[in-house]
Structure 1
Amino acid sequence: GLVLLVIGCPCALGIATPIAFITAASRAAREGLLVRDPAAFELLGIARTIVFDKTGTLTAGRPSVASIEPEAGWSEETVIGIAAEAEHGIEHPIARAIVAAAGEPDTSGGGTRDGRRAWAMDDHGREIVVQTDDGGVSDTATRLRVSIDGRTIGRIALEDRERPEAAAVIEALRSRGLNVLLATGDARGPARHLARTLGIRADEIFAHYSPEQKLELVRRSVGPVVFVGDGINDAPAMA
């Protein structure tokens, strides 16, 4: 049996293991997955919890501006233009949607985004902040509040569609006994709307989460844990 095989040809088993890893990594690459550590394949087989990011992971990652609501004294063009200054130069679906709607801003600088908000200093030394604005649990759009030096000048609503295969993937994971969680920097309304569409329960939704909070969620969940994300904001949880 196996004992005789190990005694008779131990080198063959030593060669077979890396070949299996290489074959799996090659297959994953053809599916668009890059694997840094082959040991991840072993952990996948015993994973207990899968944590999904929302934007660009369970959704198509191509949000578009649905509406702009300026405060009194401000125009739609000004609000979206100022928001674009904070989102300029950021590789994130929300940032790309804002800049696409406004056009390239007339600034040499760039903003910073941590998942829930983006910020930058404009040419006049004012702080521009674009952050998630919770429009309520019934709000299905991603709403952003735009402010200058702490003063709100308007709100922007974005809409994104779920990936067509997302519901089937989550159902398949559940059928294998895995826990499925949704962790997003987005507000509760759009997070719950997407979750209902995909069959994720209310107690499995973690909205308004920063990258650090996503990391803590991974640490306290039943492990081993797999985190599925698409952006630099998910890097701490995926490390």
Structure 2
Amino acid sequence: MKDRISHRFADPALLAQALRHRSAGVPHNERLEFLGDSIVNMLVAQTLFERWPKADEGALTRARSTLVCEGALAVIARQLELGPRLVLGPGELKSGGFRRDSILADAVEAVIAAIYLDAGFDACRQVVLPWFEASIAALPATGKPDKDPKTRLQEWLQARQKPLPHYELISESGDDHAKHFHVRCTLVDPTLASEGEGTSRRIAEQQAAAAALALLEPK
């Protein structure tokens, strides 16, 4: 886990609990999820507040909701490869619970709480904020996230008379009710490639576009 989460737990039991779904019995991760939900909202809210000094409350709230919604957190869970590490009960295992957005998002919140309890707020902030960097960078600096990452990437390239991106489906897995898509976005000039994942091809392409924008417009 260290290579993905970038935190070595002094108390490994906290991480073990964070990855244990209630279907697997106690101790499970619901209490940690409750705490992590507040922490991640605080972390993202503070970052948006600092980066968008002229944005009003409405814009900040909409942006935060976009960044910490279930789908966005599930993407982070997949990037951290949390799914295969989840401890689930037999029923959830059979139904593919390790691929379900709701379970993955809850696990991310629980892991965030585990890091906070293990090392404190500052350490938690340092570990967790990079997970959101690509998505935050993809939001317009005006504080009005009215255009999706694919649209913004296309406009960025067109404004510079560069070829449009190419989106390629790398893999598609899961049952019909729990699909998972992995997409690559390739830019011809400059030669750059980024990847994204999601529960639909559209979401995966948006994530790949957001990652490409982060490469083109580093903060």
Normalising by structure 1, what TM-score? 0.24
Larger Rg: 1
**Structure of higher RCO (CA pairs closer than 8 Å, 6+ residues apart):** 1
Larger fraction in helix: 2
